[in-house]
Chain A
């Protein structure tokens, strides 16, 4: 099965039909859930980064601020991922060829790896080394903001 056949199979699946043939407000609702998830995720990451840089909540340990920030990031990622997958299933051929979508997916995979390998580790310490904290936060901010920006471009190509 080549890529084209897989995309066609997705597009003709019952879920794809259910999403694309439904009222166009279903598509709008998916978009709303997607953007709310991304806003939640980015805001929690900004807050965590500010704490790692020592700019906010300096009286609380990184672990204390990190616990709630990571939980919110997880909720945001799940909301964005579920709604995003449904949108993709409804029009896979359209998205697959879109350059902004391709860039978004590369950045997204990298952001998830950085989240699992660096951000989670750094946020679970009471006082992580400043260099490691700054490196993780900067990398994560660049990647996730890149995901948001490239995602916003998809509809214009």
Chain B
């Protein structure tokens, strides 16, 4: 694993940054930031799950898709702000452990795919007339985008939780 040995010194330097070291050494900082990460996730990814179930026609069928998207967006984005800030801090504090964990790059990969799916949905599918005009029957692509989002975000959570469980590379 030559890539690993190339990146390792950088990860170790990051861990020595005062902020990173302070988090790693504090008895309470790490678990509290982990807690904020979980709460941010339940607001952002959690509300996305509910949106996905609506797109798939499984829940909240009496609420127009367009209303679900519009009403929940500010809370989803606020949740993501919490997730990214807390996740970034945790990442600084244990940079070398993340680098060694095979689960972490998979988490990032599925995060990227989930983001691309969300962008495509917001910029293309959600802009189609039947969605904007709240037609009772929506294009199939709406349902597929919801299912893809549900699956990809689930994988992000699964691989995130696996980080401390999978054996290291090499």
Contact = CB atoms under 8 A, between A and B. Distances in A.
A64 interface: yes
Interface string B90-125: 000000000000000000000000000000000000
Given A28-B161, A43-B49, A156-B31, A148 B43 contact: no
A39 B30 CA distance: 20
Contacts of B27: 156
B72 A56 contact: yes
A116 interface: no
A59 interface: yes
Interface in B1-52: 27, 30-32, 34-35, 38-39, 41-43, 45-47, 49-50
Interface string A117-157: 00000000000000000000000000001001100110110
Given A60-B62, A65-B60, A39 B165 contact: no
B46 A42 contact: yes
Query: Main secondary structure on chain A at its contact with chain B?
Result: helix
Contacts, number: 93
Given A57-B67, A72-B50, A39 B41 contact: yes
29 contacts: A32-B157, A32-B158, A35-B161, A36-B154, A38-B42, A39-B49, A42-B42, A43-B49, A43-B50, A46-B47, A46-B75, A50-B75, A57-B60, A57-B63, A57-B67, A60-B63, A64-B62, A72-B59, A148-B35, A149-B32, A149-B35, A149-B38, A149-B39, A152-B35, A153-B34, A155-B31, A156-B27, A156-B30, A156-B34
B39 to A, nearest CB: 6
Interface residues of B, number: 31
A36 B157 CA distance: 8
Interface in A50-72: 50, 55-57, 59-60, 64-65, 68, 71-72
A36 B160 CA distance: 11
Contacts of B62: 60, 64
Interface residues of A, number: 35
Nearest to A59: B67
A40 interface: yes
B39 A57 contact: no
Nearest to A152: B35
B162 interface: yes
A58 B170 CA distance: 54
A116 to B, nearest CB: 21
A156 B43 CA distance: 24
